Amino acid sequence: MITRRFLLGAACALGMTGMLSGTALAAEPVLTGEGMTIYFQMGGNSGDPTTLARELGAKAAADMLKVKLINQYAGWDQQKMLEQANQALASQPDAIVVMGHSGTDSMKRFLNEAKEAGIVVVTNNTRLPGTDLSYFGLDNYEAGRVLGEKMVAAGLKKGDKAVIYGTFEQTAHADISRGTIEEFDKAGVAYDKLQWSNEAVQDPSLAVPVLAAYLESHPDVKAIAVPGHGGITAILAKVLDAAGKAPGSVITGGYDISPASIDGLKKGYVTVVVDQQPYLQGFMPVVAAVLQKRYGLAGLMLNTGGGVVTKDNVEAIAPLVEEGVR
Amino acid sequence: MAMQASHDPSAASLRLSLSRRIFAVEGMAILAVFALLIAIFMVTAPQTFLSYRIYMTFLANVPPPMILALGLTFVVVAGEMDLSFPSIVAFSSYVFAILFKNYELTWLAFAAALIVGVILGFVNGLIVTQLGIPSMITTLATLFLYGGLVVIVSNGLTVAVPSVTDTVIHSVFAGRIGVLPVQALWALAVAVALWFILNRHRFGENVLFIGDNARVAHVVGIRVDREKLKIFTLMGLLSAFAGILLTLETTTYFSSQGMGYLLIVVASVFIGGTSIFGGSGTIVGTVVGALIVAIIEAGLVASGVQGFWTRFLIGVVFLVSVTLNMALEDPDRVPLFKKIRMRLRR
């Protein structure tokens, strides 16, 4: 297992290699992905708050290493991700970067066929447990746990009531909710679980009346946790406003920063946002795919997140969010 | 006396005809279903549904899907379908947001966004009438086409416009009069205008005729293609307007904007009682249908329904609402009720 520090060093070194190529200092052979084609599953829709930074990161790495990059977008539909993985396989590229939302069992056939064809497979955002593939993303459970921990630290006490608005199915994504739930359990925080709808996942404004209605009918609720959806995290300020709650009167925590969640943090409506740094989830898999294809270096892993954005550090991060890098 | 009256066949038939007359008024049946739902939620979630605040939240968030559903009612009445509106919503939202963000344009951005909607709707109509491709397929294709185009044009970027809340245009279209969201008044104005067009204007008459039988409409001199072109253009215009209202309310454009509306808008039209076969439709029904669709999930959640049960019960409430709507208008429209009534008569 290669450590995070080593990987970041490797990425910097790659950047420097690119900059120094053509000079006497350049080491030979220069790492390049020239002639390589990589299919890359971006997860959501192009440009959405949780996808854009991943796209930009992948593009930056592809430009640097001269890789031909083909992006695939699934609107976070795991069935579509599976179909797209097989479509990519049919094109016989050099490497495929997949998301692990469909689970290891459903990906087994794809993985076997890719192995037989000599195609490098790298995972990003969500792991495929039980495989030794390189992975760049959050430890979902850990991210959910951090979210719960930070919300408790923000003032939730034993016996307080919270609502968790997320997904609780047996999917990799539900690991985030599990982490938050376990942290709430540990702190003695009572909670209701609300399942988000497919429509709200696509158009988060549809979640406003639902959460506002919940808050109205449960005035004793002290916190809202949204483990795993940047768009819904972005409308938390609207929810509190609609329910007549003052900024800071309800502890709110979510996932993935965006211009709207930054605004919510600044105004005090949003308490904490877990930042999974999707730019790295785009950049690193391309680098890893080239390293594996050229030098057989495999099994790389990097937890891209674990950090949180609060009112204390939001000002420093806001300009990078505007650029789409964070 | 009351018991005697209830056994009097003439009084019973009078009461039946009275209830039929009441529910024969456009939208009364679905309005009764809506009132019943609200009453149920007032009992199951009094803290939420006996307070004005939740209704204001609905009135702030329902107008975009309601306006889309009103436009779609015209399309469906004409025997056609439009599935491309989510992408037109996204496209117009983008045009408005980017012009505001980069050039601080407000009214010009508003006009430009509407023009984009009109053009995209017009193109839909042209494809349907000139290439002869069924509207369902045409608009399914343009759903992807327009949606893809806006991602290309916007480079996939989300456009946040928080400062739009300081502008006059925000006050006009998404401000508050006291606690009342202004966009609700705009949705009401659109509904009233479309009701008059559908029920009192030559264009509406032509739409109904075309939906009933396009061939006969053509024979009697209605320029079917021209009227269809108008219908799709109107849908484009209303989609753009809905997109602007949505952007003003959320102060953000993102590329999947509007996509979550696809099924709920279609559901609003059919729950409202518009015929899937064309030729008949109700504007009042669509307005109430959109409200029903909006309150169901919030009502169930406020009532304490959690997890997967919410989705299951939304389906149940949809089915019951549509059945009740038909039964109240005319019990014989529901075959099961008709059979039961006939057996009871025997």
- Minimum distance, in Å, between the CA of residue B166 and any CA atom of chain A: 15
Residue A66 has pLDDT above 90, yes or no: yes
Say whether B297 and A260 touch across the interface (CB within 8 A): no
Say whether A205 and B246 touch across the interface (CB within 8 A): yes
pLDDT at res. A126: 86
CATH number of the domain bearing residue A31: 3.40.50.2300
Say whether B53 and A243 touch across the interface (CB within 8 A): yes
pLDDT at res. A181: 95
The continuous run of DSSP H or E covering B236 comes out as: helix B224-250
Last residue of a domain, one of A235, A251, A274: A274
- Write out the two tokens for B88: 């037109």
- Minimum distance, in Å, between the CA of residue B301 and any CA atom of chain A: 6
Please classify residue B188 by burial: count the beta carbons closer than 10 Å to its beta carbon, then call 0-12 exposed, 13-18 middle and 19+ buried. middle
- Note whether residue B16 is domain-resident: no
Q: Is A134 found in the same domain as A280?
A: yes
Range of the domain at B293: 27-345
Compute the mean pLDDT over every residue in chain A, rounded to the nearest whole number: 86
Chain B residue with minimum CA distance to A167: B307
**Whether B181 contacts chain A with CB within 8 A:** no
Residue B243 — very low, low, confident or very high, per pLDDT cuts 50/70/90?
A: very high
Between residues A22 and A271, the one the model is more confident about: A271
Residue pair A92/A117 in contact (Cβ under 8 Å)? The answer is yes
Q: Which of A168, A210, A258 sits opposite B307 (nearest CB)?
A: A168
Instruction: Establish, for the pair of chains A and B, how many residue pairs have beta carbons separated by less than 8 Å.
Output: 140
Q: Which of A216, A260, A322 sits opposite B47 (nearest CB)?
A: A216
- Note whether residue A310 is domain-resident: no
pLDDT at res. A186: 96
Q: Which of A202, A235, A242 sits opposite B256 (nearest CB)?
A: A202
Q: Which of B158, B246, B303 sits opposite A259 (nearest CB)?
A: B158
- Write out the two tokens for A150: 């930070």
Residue A265 — very low, low, confident or very high, per pLDDT cuts 50/70/90?
A: very high
Rounded Cα gap, residues A61 and A11, in angstroms:
9
E-assigned strand segments in A138-275: 161-166, 190-195, 221-225, 251-255, 272-275
* B 44-83 → A contacts, CB under 8 A: 45, 47-48, 51, 53-54, 56-58, 60-61
**A-chain residues within 8 Å CB-CB of B60?**
208, 242
**B-chain residues within 8 Å CB-CB of A205?**
61, 246, 249-250, 260
Residue pair A126/A100 in contact (Cβ under 8 Å)? The answer is yes
Q: Above pLDDT 90, what percent of chain A? A: 53
Q: Which of B252, B259, B264 sits opposite A260 (nearest CB)?
A: B252
- Minimum distance, in Å, between the CA of residue B96 and any CA atom of chain A: 17
Range of the domain at A134: 4-138+276-305
Q: Is A258 found in the same domain as A230?
A: yes
| Whether residue A29 has a cis bond before it, omega within 30° of 0 | yes
Rounded Cα gap, residues B55 and B52, in angstroms:
5
* Residue closest to A48 by CA, chosen among B118, B253, B240: B253
* Average pLDDT for A34-53: 85
Which range of A198-207, A210-219, B250-259 scores highest in mean pLDDT? It is A210-219
- Note whether residue A30 is domain-resident: yes
Say whether B254 and A194 touch across the interface (CB within 8 A): no
The angle, 0 to 180 degrees and rounded to 10, between the axes of the packed helices B135-154 and B107-126 is 140
- Minimum distance, in Å, between the CA of residue A192 and any CA atom of chain B: 8
Q: Is A117 found in the same domain as A45?
A: yes
Least confident of A33-37, A175-179, B310-314: B310-314
Least confident of A115-119, A164-168, B305-309: B305-309
Chain A residue with minimum CA distance to B45: A217
* Average pLDDT for A11-38: 62
Rounded Cα gap, residues B24 and A324, in angstroms:
55
- Note whether residue A323 is domain-resident: no
* Residue closest to B54 by CA, chosen among B67, B36, B41: B41
**A-chain residues within 8 Å CB-CB of B158?**
47-49, 52, 258-259, 324
Residue B8 has pLDDT above 70, yes or no: no
Q: Which of A52, A214, A322 sits opposite B302 (nearest CB)?
A: A214
Non-local CB neighbours of B77 within 8 Å, separated by 6+ positions? B198, B207, B208, B211, B274, B275, B278, B279, B280, B281
The angle, 0 to 180 degrees and rounded to 10, between the axes of the packed helices B309-329 and B9-24 is 120
* Average pLDDT for B111-128: 98
Q: Which of B54, B251, B260 sits opposite A199 (nearest CB)?
A: B260
* Residue closest to A290 by CA, chosen among A10, A55, A6, A1: A10
Mutate to test the interface with A, among B58, B256, B268, B309 (most CBs of A within 10 A): B256
* B 264-303 → A contacts, CB under 8 A: 264, 294-295, 297-299, 301-303
* Average pLDDT for A1-7: 44
- Note whether residue A314 is domain-resident: no
HSE value, Cβ hemisphere, 13 Å, CA-based, for A160: 20
Q: Is A154 found in the same domain as A257?
A: yes
- Note whether residue A313 is domain-resident: no
- Minimum distance, in Å, between the CA of residue A61 and any CA atom of chain B: 18
Residue B326 has pLDDT above 90, yes or no: no
Q: What is the pLDDT of residues A226-253, one digit of tens each?
A: 998 888 999 999 999 999 999 999 999 9
Q: What is the pLDDT of residues B245-282, one digit of tens each?
A: 999 988 888 777 888 899 889 999 999 989 888 888 99
E-assigned strand segments in A108-243: 120-125, 134-137, 161-166, 190-195, 221-225
Q: Is A65 found in the same domain as A156?
A: no
- Minimum distance, in Å, between the CA of residue B158 and any CA atom of chain A: 6
What is the DSSP code (8-state) at residue A252?
E
Chain B residue with minimum CA distance to A201: B260
Least confident of A16-20, B119-123, B250-254: A16-20
Rounded Cα gap, residues A99 and B63, in angstroms:
36
pLDDT at res. A60: 95
- Note whether residue A316 is domain-resident: no
- Note whether residue B12 is domain-resident: no
Type of residue at A23: T
* Residue closest to A37 by CA, chosen among A122, A119, A94: A94
Say whether A258 and B308 touch across the interface (CB within 8 A): no
Non-local CB neighbours of B333 within 8 Å, separated by 6+ positions? B326, B327
**Whether B163 contacts chain A with CB within 8 A:** no
Residue B2 has pLDDT above 50, yes or no: no
pLDDT at res. B6: 44
pLDDT at res. B308: 66
How many CB atoms sit inside 10 A of residue B249's CB? 21
- Write out the two tokens for A306: 């674990």
- Note whether residue B5 is domain-resident: no
Alpha-carbon distance values, A20 to A30, B177, B281 (Å): 10, 63, 70
Model's pTM, two decimal places?
0.77
Domain count, chain B: 1
- Minimum distance, in Å, between the CA of residue B70 and any CA atom of chain A: 18
Between residues B115 and A258, the one the model is more confident about: B115
Domain count, chain A: 2
Last residue of a domain, one of A274, A294, A314: A274
Which range of A306-310, B33-37, B59-63, B183-187 scores highest in mean pLDDT? It is B183-187
Residue A252 CA to its chain's centroid (Å) = 19
- Note whether residue A300 is domain-resident: yes
pLDDT at res. A170: 60
Q: Is A100 found in the same domain as A123?
A: yes
Chain B residue with minimum CA distance to A74: B256
Residue B12 — very low, low, confident or very high, per pLDDT cuts 50/70/90?
A: low
- Minimum distance, in Å, between the CA of residue B201 and any CA atom of chain A: 34
- Minimum distance, in Å, between the CA of residue A262 and any CA atom of chain B: 11
**B-chain residues within 8 Å CB-CB of A45?**
151, 255-256
Residue pair A117/A88 in contact (Cβ under 8 Å)? The answer is no
Q: Give ∠ CA B138-B144-B146 in degrees, rounded to 5.
A: 90
Q: What is the DSSP string of B288-330?
A: HHHHHHHHHHHHHHHTT--TTHHHHHHHHHHHHHHHHHHHHH-
Q: Is A284 found in the same domain as A259?
A: no
Say whether A52 and B260 touch across the interface (CB within 8 A): no
Q: Give ∠ CA A132-A135-A139 in degrees, rounded to 5.
A: 110
Residue B15 — very low, low, confident or very high, per pLDDT cuts 50/70/90?
A: low
Type of residue at B247: T
Type of residue at A283: F
Rounded Cα gap, residues A33 and B144, in angstroms:
32
Say whether B298 and A75 touch across the interface (CB within 8 A): no
Least confident of A35-39, A70-74, A268-272, B129-133: A70-74
Q: Above pLDDT 90, what percent of chain B? A: 60
CATH number of the domain bearing residue B222: 1.10.3470
Residue B310 has pLDDT above 90, yes or no: no
How many CB atoms sit inside 10 A of residue A60's CB? 16
Please classify residue B130 by burial: count the beta carbons closer than 10 Å to its beta carbon, then call 0-12 exposed, 13-18 middle and 19+ buried. exposed
Residue B104 — very low, low, confident or very high, per pLDDT cuts 50/70/90?
A: very high
pLDDT at res. B307: 62
Rounded Cα gap, residues A165 and A176, in angstroms:
11
Between residues B138 and B48, the one the model is more confident about: B138
- Note whether residue A34 is domain-resident: yes
Alpha-carbon distance values, B121 to A91, B65, B235, B270 (Å): 36, 17, 6, 22
